[in-house]
Structures are given as structure tokens and as C-alpha cells.
Amino acid sequence: MLPITELAKAKVNLNLHILGRRPDGYHELSSCVGFVDVADVLSFEPAQVNALEVSGPFAADVPMGETNSVWKAYSWLAARMLLPLVHVKLEKNLPVASGIGGGSADAAAMLRGLLRLVEKTLSEDEITGLAADLGADVPVCFRGQACLMQGIGEKISILSEQLPPALVLVNPLVACSTAEVFKAMALKPGEMRAAPTKAEWRNDMTVAAIHVQPKIVNVLSALHKTDLFPVLMSGSGATCFGIARDFSEAEKTAAELTKLNPNWWVKAARIVT
């Protein structure tokens, strides 16, 4: 049997509105999410023992053992159905703790691949439950297509409008903890904000993320000096992006940014459907 392969595509929050904090402590959000053709790659096949083999430019940053998002996904699914033991190969191309769903995308890709392996599916309720059980971004990453993500991440609706064709992703290669960013936002349980009247191009986590990781300012400043528009931060950072008119412009701008900032992670990407 050939190994099953799944792409864990980078998730980009094209906007991100934090609507408040529920009494149970979870944050309510609304975000238009797109996926791009820059991805981690997972392949796996039945084995005698469970094993994870990691390669790629960010392999050294991947936590191993039970804290790894891939094994968390395996354990979650194994509690619901009989699974074979698997040998997993993870090509880690996305920086960790970077606001583009790397760990969540890996978990979602693991679920999709395992389900293909055992020829099973998840119910809508089970997909919804992924947000609370495995992380807010896992349901949308499991879908892997442009969506409006609401609630704590469990409410997903497919976007029908056309998204921009391309963008440039930039990360200063510093981790930015989502938990620390939410802490810096300092919303009290039960504190709610007014909902936006339209899909505004903004990320409500930006100021708090800059407090946690000041290098985000340098990235946003560099992007603002290009012709890309709009320029925003994705998720809880530190990855930021600028929208390009086409992939050619994205490639040209990425090359210029890489030349000026050789120690940053810079990728031109196409938004996929």
C-alpha cells in the first residue's frame, strides 16, 4: 500500500475580529480564512508501532511525544474508532507558533489522512467539537477551503465570494504565543465588543501581538513600503501578509523583501480554493 499523503496548507486570517470573551473564558471571533499553496506535508502508512519522522526547514522546532498536534489528533480519533498503528512522515515547511495554523493544519491533515486510511468520515458535530478538543483553528483547517470562521472556531460557513489571487507571507522567525496574545488583550470573562458592520480589513489581535513580539512592527513596516494592499497580521502573529494583484507581483515583492531581510521567512503564495 502506498503511503497516504495530505497537505497541511497554511491558513491565513484575511481579517480577524475579536467580538469578546465568553463567561467560560473562550474568546468569540469572526474571521474570513483563506488557504495558500505553502504547506507542511504529511504522509503515513500502517506500521508495527506508531512513529513520527520529521524533516524540513522547521523540523527542529516540532515538539515530539504526546504534546505533538499530530499525536493529539491521533488520540482524539482513536477514542472514536479503531485505528491502525502508523508511521508518519512530517515535512515541516511552516514556521511554528506563527499565526498561520501550522500545528492545527498538521492535526487536521492527520485526521483527514487517517480517515482515508480507515475509509471513515466525521459527523458535523464531531467536526464542530474539534475546536474545543484540539484547537480553535482545527475545524477550518480540516475543511481546508475559504471559510467564515465564527464562535470559538467551531462555526464554519463556506465563503462564496472570490478571494484575492495571491499574497506574500512574511515571518521574522520569532515565535508568538497565542495564549500570551490573548492574555495581553486583557478581556474579562463576559466582556463583549460591538460586532463589525462589515468585513473590515483588520486584525484585532495586532496590538496585543506586538506587545508580546515587538518584531511584528518591523514586518508590517516593511510590507507597507511595498505596493501590496492591504497589509495585515495573520492570526495571533507573528506572520504578516500583503495582498498582491497577481502571483507575478507576489513573487517580485517576495524576492525584494528577502533581499532586504535575508533572515526572515518570506513566501509568495497563491490563495487556493
Catalytic position from the list 9, 11, 72, 267: 11
CATH T-level assignment (fold) for domain 166-272: Alpha-Beta Plaits (3.30.70)
Could you tell me what percent of the chain has a pLDDT over 90? 92
Instruction: Indicate the average pLDDT of the chain.
Output: 95
Q: What CATH code would you report for 4-158?
A: 3.30.230.10
Please tell me the predicted confidence (pLDDT) of residue 250.
98
| Cβ neighbours for 253, distance < 8 A, ≥ 6 positions apart | 168, 226, 227, 228, 242, 244, 268
Model-level pTM?
0.95
Q: Is 61 a catalytic residue?
A: no
Split at pLDDT 50, 70, 90, the class of 195 is confident
Which among 9, 40, 92, 137 is annotated as catalytic?
137
Q: 183: which 3 cell numbers?
A: 492574555
Q: State the pLDDT at residue 64.
A: 87
* Cα separation, 222 vs 214, whole angstroms: 14
Domain range list for the chain: 4-158, 166-272
pLDDT in tens, 207-229: 999 999 999 999 999 999 999 99
pLDDT of residue 66: 81
CB atoms within 10 A of CB 73: 27
Is 225 in the active site?
Answer: no
